[in-house]
Amino acid sequence: MAATSRDLPPLYRQWAEHYRQAIAKGALSAGQRMPSVRELMQRHAISLSTALQILRTLEAEGCLEARPRVGYFVCSPAAVNLGEATDPDPRMPVSQLDGKEFVGINERISLWLEQGRLADVRIDLGSAMPAPELFDGATLNRHGAALLREFPDILVQGHSRPGTHPVFQAAMARRALDAGVQVAPQEVMATLGNSEAVNLALSAVAERGDVIAVESPTFYGLLQAVEAQNLRALEIPSSARTGISLEALELAVQQEPRLKAVVVVPHLQMPHGAVMPDEHKARLVDFCVRHQLALIEDDIYREFLDSPQPPRPLKAWDRHGQVIYCVSFNKTVAPGLRQGWMNGGRWHTRIHMLKFAKTRNMQVWAQLLTARTVEAAAHERHLRRLRQALRQQRERSVQAVARYFPVGTRLSVPAGGLSLWIELPPGASSSRLFEQALALGIRVAPGPMFSNTGRYERFVRLSCGLPFSAEVEAAYVTLGRLVQAMLDQDPLQRVAA
Amino acid sequence: MAATSRDLPPLYRQWAEHYRQAIAKGALSAGQRMPSVRELMQRHAISLSTALQILRTLEAEGCLEARPRVGYFVCSPAAVNLGEATDPDPRMPVSQLDGKEFVGINERISLWLEQGRLADVRIDLGSAMPAPELFDGATLNRHGAALLREFPDILVQGHSRPGTHPVFQAAMARRALDAGVQVAPQEVMATLGNSEAVNLALSAVAERGDVIAVESPTFYGLLQAVEAQNLRALEIPSSARTGISLEALELAVQQEPRLKAVVVVPHLQMPHGAVMPDEHKARLVDFCVRHQLALIEDDIYREFLDSPQPPRPLKAWDRHGQVIYCVSFNKTVAPGLRQGWMNGGRWHTRIHMLKFAKTRNMQVWAQLLTARTVEAAAHERHLRRLRQALRQQRERSVQAVARYFPVGTRLSVPAGGLSLWIELPPGASSSRLFEQALALGIRVAPGPMFSNTGRYERFVRLSCGLPFSAEVEAAYVTLGRLVQAMLDQDPLQRVAA
C-alpha cells in the first residue's frame, strides 16, 4: 500500500525535521542565526502558525535558542568530549549469572534486569515510572485510612466467591463507559497490574508453541511473558507514528498457521510512543475477528496522552468479544497497589479460572481504595497535573538529548507518557552504554531489551519519570559523553575523520 | 516395608476406634450403657488415663453422652430420615459451561468451583477459611492506618529494584529461624499467598510434560496449577497419620524418569490433616537430594497445629537448597492481604525473575503491615485464640457428623486446622451431595476435587471455619439427611434391607 497524504506528519514537523538535519549535518552550524518567522513563511510558502511551530519545536528539542528581540540561533548540540569513559565495574558481573537460571524467560533480558537490580543505581532512567512526588500520595493515604475505619473486616473477610469486589467492578465499568467501552460490571476482573493481565490472556488463548504477534520494538516484559509460557513471539514492525503495521500482520497470518493472538499497546506504545489512529484501530479489530485471533489490548498509558480528546480503546470497536482489554492504575494512581483489571471478552470465564488457579483474588482494600480514588473529583485534577509535569520533564529531557548527545542522535517526540526512544548515531552500542552507565550509577534500558531480533542495538529508552534535577541533567551529560566516546573509538568513524 | 509400632496410633485411639465400630455395626446400640472407666481398665489392661481418653474421644465425636453420676451411654448417631432430598436447582447448570473454557485447568474441578461461585450460598462449608471474627481485624486496621501516617509515600513509591521490602525480609527470616529454618533475609521473596508461590516453584523446576508427585488426596488448587502449566500430576498415596508414602515415592522415582518435583503439605495436610513425623521429614529431604527432585513445601497450616511444640518444616533438614519453602499468612493474619513468601532454595534467582515476568512485586504496604502484625506480641495471643476457637468448632463439627450423618460415616479427627475429611458410607456420592446441597444453599467440597483418579467419590471435605451456630448445625442436619437419602435409594442397600 502506498503512503497517502493522511499518513504524512504535519507540515511543521516535516520542516522541523528538515532544519534538524541541516543542523545535524552542519549545514547550519552552532551560533548561526536561524531564518526568521517571516523568512520561513516566504521561503516555504507556509502560514504564520506553521512557521512559529517549526521554531518552537526546534527550540523545545534544544536545537535553537531564542535571544530576545534578535531571533533564534542554532545551539551546539554536540557534547564536548572530555576523554574516554570509565571502564565498567558492575557489582555483579554477567559471568556470575550464566543465564541457565533464566532458560525460557529470555535469558538476555533477565540478565540485564538482574544486573540492573544488583547494581548501585543513583539515577534511574531505566524504569518507566513517575517519581513518587508526581502521585497524590496524601489523598490515597487519606482514602486508605478511611476505608480501614469504615470497614472493620476489610482485611479479614474471606470470600466464598473468589472474584472482584462489586464496588470496584461498578467503578471500572463506569470508567470504561466514559472511554467508549461497554463492559458489564460482573465481567470486570481485578488483576495485579497489567503484567498479570497479559500473562493470563496469553495462557487463555494459546498453548505451547503457538505464535503471538507483538510489536517491534515492544515492552521487554511482554517478550519475557511470551517466552515464559513457551510461546513464540513474532515481531511485527511498529511505527512511531501509527503503531503496528497492518500490512505486515496480513502477511504474518498467511505465513503462520499457529498465530493465535496479537498484543498491542495502542496509546503511547512502549517504547516508541505511537498512538494508533482510529482508522487503524477499526481495521485491526476487524482483521482479528476475520482471522479468529485474540486481540490483547494493553491500555496502560492512555491517560498519559496529552490530548484534549482522550482516544477510544480498541475494545470500543469490539462487537464479538475478540478483544481482551487490560487496564492498570500502576502508573497513574499507585505503584504500591499494583491494581489493574481486565475484561477477557469471550475468554473471560476461562481467564477467571486461570486467575483462581494462579494467584486467587480479592485484595478488597486495594480494590476499594482504587475505586474511591479514581471516582473522586480530585482524580482528574491529579491526572492533569501528572500529564503537565511529565510534559515538562519530557521537554527538558529532549533538550538534554539534543544538547549533550552526539550529532546524529535522533528521536521522535511522543505525544505523552514517560519515555523517550532514542536512536544513537552509527557506531554507538546501547548494550555497552548500559554497562558503562551502570558502572557510574546510571541505569538505562538498552534497545535490544525491546526485541528478540537484536535490531535495536543503536536505540536506548530513557525514562522521563524523574523531575529534571541537576543530577538528572548531569546523567544526560554523562550518557552523551559515553556515546561520544564510543563514536571516537569506532574504527569506521576514525577512518571517516 | 512392614508397619512398625511407631506407626500405630496411640492406644486410646485404637480402642476408641474399636468401640466406634461396635456402635456403627450395632453391637452397641443407642441408649445402651457404655462400659465404665474401671471396666475398660480391667477388660483391656489399660491405664486410667487411657480409659478416660477413650471415653472423652467418643464423647467429643458424639458417639457417647455422659449422664452425671450414672455413666456414659451410646447416642443415636443416625439421622431420622425425613424423606427425599429436594431436586438440585443450581443457578447455572453444568450444561451451560461445557468445560471447553477450562481445558488444561482441570475441567472437572473448574466446573465445580464455577458452579459453587455462581450459586446462592447461605452456609459455606466448602472453603477452608476462618470466619472474619476469628481474625484480629482491629489490630490489623490500626497497624495499617499507622503505616499510612508514618510513610506518606508508601503507596506511590515505585521501586527501581523489583523485589521484596527489606523490613519484610528481615521479619520473615527471624520467624523462619524460630521455626528452625535458616534463610538469609535477601532470599525471602514476597508472594501472593501460597498459590502464587507453588505456581512459581512449579514453573521454575519443571517443563511441559514433566511429572510432579503430589499427595493423594491433595488440595485441588495444586491439581489445577499442575495442569495449567502442562505438567502431569502423579498421585502418591498419603496417610492421614503420616502423610505421603515414602515407599510409593521410591517406586515412582524408579518408574517415572520425568519426575521433577514432590509437593507436600507436611503439617495438617489438606484435606486429611496428617502431620508428617520428623523421621519421615528427614527421609523425604534425603530422598529428594539423592534423586535430584525439587521438594516443594507448602507450609500453610503449621500454625494451626494444636501442639505444645510447634513442628519443624522440611526446610529445617535442607542442606542442599533442595527444598522450596512456601509460607502464607492468608489464613492466620489476613485473607484480604494475600501475603505470603517463599525461599526458592537453589532455584531462587530463577523464581525471582519468573515472578517479575508474571506479576512483578512490591505491595509494600501489605508487606510492612504483615511484618508489623506478626512481630507484635499480640500475634501469639491471636494465634492461641484462633487455634482454640477452631478446636471448639472442629469438635462441634465432629459431634454433628456423628449425630446427623448415617451410621457407617467415618473420619479421622485432625490435630488442628480448618477441615474435616469425611468418608461417607458405601452407596453415598459426594458429587451428588455437592449438587444437592448447593441447591439448598450449602456449599461443600466433594472428594473427587482432591484427586484426578475419581478415588474419593465417597469423601467430602467440610470446613470448620465458621462459628458453630444453629444455622451451621442445621446445615449438618441437612447434609446428613441428603446422604441418608442416597443410601435409602441405593439398590444394593435396598436389597440388603
8 Å CB contact of A195 and B149: no
The band of B428, judged by pLDDT with boundaries at 50, 70 and 90, is very high
Least CB–CB distance from B359: residue in A155, A195, A366:
A195
A310 in contact with B at a CB cutoff of 8 Å? no
**Residue A17: partners with Cβ closer than 8 Å, 6 or more residues away:** A9
Alpha carbon distance A12, A300 (integer Å): 30
pLDDT on residue B341: 97
Question: Could you tell me the sign of the dihedral formed by the alpha carbons of B438, B441, B447, B452, in that order?
Answer: positive
Q: Which of A313, A324, A310 is nearest to A280 (CA)?
A: A313
Rounded mean pLDDT, B447-474: 93
CATH class of the region B94-134+388-496: alpha beta
Instruction: Tell me the count of A-B CB pairs closer than 8 A.
Output: 223
Domains A94-134+387-496 and A159-375 share a fold: no
Alpha carbon distance A449, A361 (integer Å): 31
Helices B378-404 + B470-489 axis angle, to 10: 40
Least CB–CB distance from B359: residue in A192, A357, A365:
A192
Query: What ranges make up the beta strands (E) of A104-244?
Result: 123-124, 189-192, 211-216, 232-239, 243-244
Residues 160-189 of A with CB under 8 A from B: 160-163
The three grid cell numbers given for residue B492, joined into one nine-digit string: 444394593
The answer to whether A408 and A428 are in contact (CB under 8 A) is no
> What is the architecture of the domain spanning A5-74?
Orthogonal Bundle (1.10)
Of A335-344, B4-13, B110-119, B431-440, the least confident: B4-13
Q: Which of A373, A359, A313, A448 is nearest to A146 (CA)?
A: A373
**Furthest-apart CA atoms within chain A: distance in Å:** 74
Pairing of strands B259-264, B211-216: parallel
8 Å CB contact of B155 and A117: no
> What is the architecture of the domain spanning A159-375?
3-Layer(aba) Sandwich (3.40)
Alpha carbon distance B494, B411 (integer Å): 25
DSSP B361-396: ---HHHHHHHHHHHHSTHHHHHHHHHHHHHHHHHHH
Alpha carbon distance A345, A319 (integer Å): 10
The answer to whether A355 and A361 are in contact (CB under 8 A) is yes
Residues 443-462 of A with CB under 8 A from B: 443
pLDDT on residue B24: 67
Q: N- to C-terminal Cα distance for chain B?
A: 41
Question: Which residues sit opposite B323 in a β-bridge?
Answer: B295
8 Å CB contact of A161 and B362: no
pLDDT at B163 over 80: no
For the range B435-439, what are the long-range contacts, defined as Cβ-Cβ under 8 Å and sequence gap of 24 or more? B435/B88, B435/B90, B435/B115, B436/B85, B436/B86, B436/B88, B436/B482, B437/B478, B437/B479, B437/B482, B438/B88, B438/B90, B438/B115, B438/B116, B438/B119, B438/B121, B439/B86, B439/B87, B439/B88, B439/B89, B439/B90, B439/B119
H-helix or E-strand spanning residue B495: helix B491-496
List pLDDT tens digits, range A9-40.
788 888 888 888 777 666 777 778 899 889 99
8 Å CB contact of B141 and A129: no
Least CB–CB distance from A359: residue in B192, B353, B354:
B192
Q: Which of B91, B113, B160, B419 to mutate to test the interface with A (most CBs of A within 10 A)?
A: B160
Work out the minimum CA distance from B417 to partner chain A, whole angstroms. Answer: 16
pLDDT values of chain A reduced to their tens digit, one per residue, 497 residues: 344 445 567 888 888 888 887 776 667 777 788 998 899 998 888 998 889 889 888 887 778 888 777 888 887 543 322 222 222 222 233 334 566 777 778 888 888 888 888 888 999 999 899 999 999 999 999 999 999 999 999 999 876 555 799 999 999 999 999 999 999 999 999 999 999 999 999 999 999 899 999 999 999 999 999 999 889 999 999 988 889 999 999 989 998 999 999 999 999 999 999 999 999 999 999 999 999 999 999 999 999 998 777 899 999 999 999 999 999 999 999 999 999 999 999 999 999 999 988 888 678 999 999 999 999 999 999 999 999 999 999 989 998 998 999 988 888 788 899 999 999 998 999 999 999 999 999 999 999 999 988 889 999 999 999 999 999 999 999 999 999 999 998 766 555 54
CATH fold of B159-376: Aspartate Aminotransferase; domain 2 (3.40.640)
Q: Which of B113, B353, B369 to mutate to test the interface with A (most CBs of A within 10 A)?
A: B353
Distances in Å between the alpha carbon of B372 and those of A246, A443, B144, B342, B366?
53, 33, 9, 18, 10
Work out the minimum CA distance from B348 to partner chain A, whole angstroms. Answer: 9
Question: Which chain A residues have a beta carbon less than 8 Å from that of B362?
Answer: 335-336, 338
Question: Could you tell me the sign of the dihedral formed by the alpha carbons of B112, B113, B117, B121, in that order?
Answer: positive
Rounded mean pLDDT, B418-437: 94
The answer to whether A99 and A434 are in contact (CB under 8 A) is no
Q: Which of B360, B429, B447, B452 is nearest to B105 (CA)?
A: B452
Rounded mean pLDDT, B135-145: 96
List pLDDT tens digits, range B174-221.
999 999 999 999 999 999 999 999 999 999 999 989 999 999 999 999
B102 in contact with A at a CB cutoff of 8 Å? yes
8 Å CB contact of B137 and A158: no
Residues 255-294 of A with CB under 8 A from B: none
8 Å CB contact of B208 and A208: yes
A158 in contact with B at a CB cutoff of 8 Å? yes
Alpha carbon distance B287, B246 (integer Å): 9
A140 in contact with B at a CB cutoff of 8 Å? yes
8 Å CB contact of A362 and B338: yes
Residue A42 φ then ψ, to 5°: -70, -50
CATH class of the region A94-134+387-496: alpha beta
pLDDT on residue B25: 65
Work out the minimum CA distance from A340 to partner chain B, whole angstroms. Answer: 11
Residue B461 φ then ψ, to 5°: -100, 125
Alpha carbon distance A404, A406 (integer Å): 7
Alpha carbon distance B457, B404 (integer Å): 20
B416 in contact with A at a CB cutoff of 8 Å? no
Residue A337 φ then ψ, to 5°: -100, -25
8 Å CB contact of A221 and B101: no
List pLDDT tens digits, range B17-70.
888 877 766 677 777 889 988 999 988 889 988 898 898 888 877 778 887 778
Residue A74 φ then ψ, to 5°: -75, 130
pLDDT on residue B478: 97
H-helix or E-strand spanning residue A196: helix A193-205
Question: Which residues sit opposite B124 in a β-bridge?
Answer: B443
8 Å CB contact of A362 and B208: no
Query: Which residue of chain B has the CA closest to A198?
Result: B358
Least CB–CB distance from B127: residue in A114, A160, A337:
A160
Of A204-208, B41-45, B104-108, B456-460, the least confident: B104-108
8 Å CB contact of B359 and A124: no
B477 in contact with A at a CB cutoff of 8 Å? no
Q: Which of B63, B68, B118 is nearest to B89 (CA)?
A: B118
Residue % of chain B over a pLDDT of 90: 62
pLDDT on residue B10: 80
Per the listing, cell 534538524 goes with: A20
pLDDT at B92 over 80: no
DSSP A361-397: ---HHHHHHHHHHHHSTHHHHHHHHHHHHHHHHHHHH
The three grid cell numbers given for residue B56, joined into one nine-digit string: 472423652
Residues 40-69 of A with CB under 8 A from B: none
Residues 10-39 of A with CB under 8 A from B: none
Residue B124 φ then ψ, to 5°: -100, 100
Question: Which chain A residues have a beta carbon less than 8 Å from that of B152?
Answer: 137-138, 141
A127 in contact with B at a CB cutoff of 8 Å? yes
Question: Which chain B residues have a beta carbon less than 8 Å from that of A358?
Answer: 195-196, 199, 225, 228
Question: What are the domain boundaries of chain A?
Answer: 5-74, 94-134+387-496, 159-375
pLDDT on residue B79: 32
Query: Which residue of chain A has the CA closest to B346?
Result: A101
Alpha carbon distance A174, A371 (integer Å): 10
Least CB–CB distance from B156: residue in A140, A221, A358:
A140
Distances in Å between the alpha carbon of A233 and those of A215, A281, A309, A450, B42?
9, 21, 33, 12, 77
Q: Which of B92, B155, B187 to mutate to test the interface with A (most CBs of A within 10 A)?
A: B155
Helices B48-60 + B11-25 axis angle, to 10: 50
A228 in contact with B at a CB cutoff of 8 Å? yes
The answer to whether B271 and B422 are in contact (CB under 8 A) is no
ipTM of the complex: 0.80
Question: Which chain B residues have a beta carbon less than 8 Å from that of A364?
Answer: 336
A321 in contact with B at a CB cutoff of 8 Å? no
The three grid cell numbers given for residue A494, joined into one nine-digit string: 576514525
Question: Which residues sit opposite B271 in a β-bridge?
Answer: none
B152 in contact with A at a CB cutoff of 8 Å? yes
The three grid cell numbers given for residue A426, joined into one nine-digit string: 552509527
Report the SS3 class of residue B356.
helix
H-helix or E-strand spanning residue A423: strand A419-423
The band of B494, judged by pLDDT with boundaries at 50, 70 and 90, is low
In this structure, how many other beta carbons lie within 10 angstroms of the beta carbon of residue B19?
A: 21
Residue A36 φ then ψ, to 5°: -75, 175
- Residue at A207: amino acid letter: E
Question: Which residues sit opposite A325 in a β-bridge?
Answer: A297, A343
Of A379-393, B149-163, B271-285, the least confident: B149-163
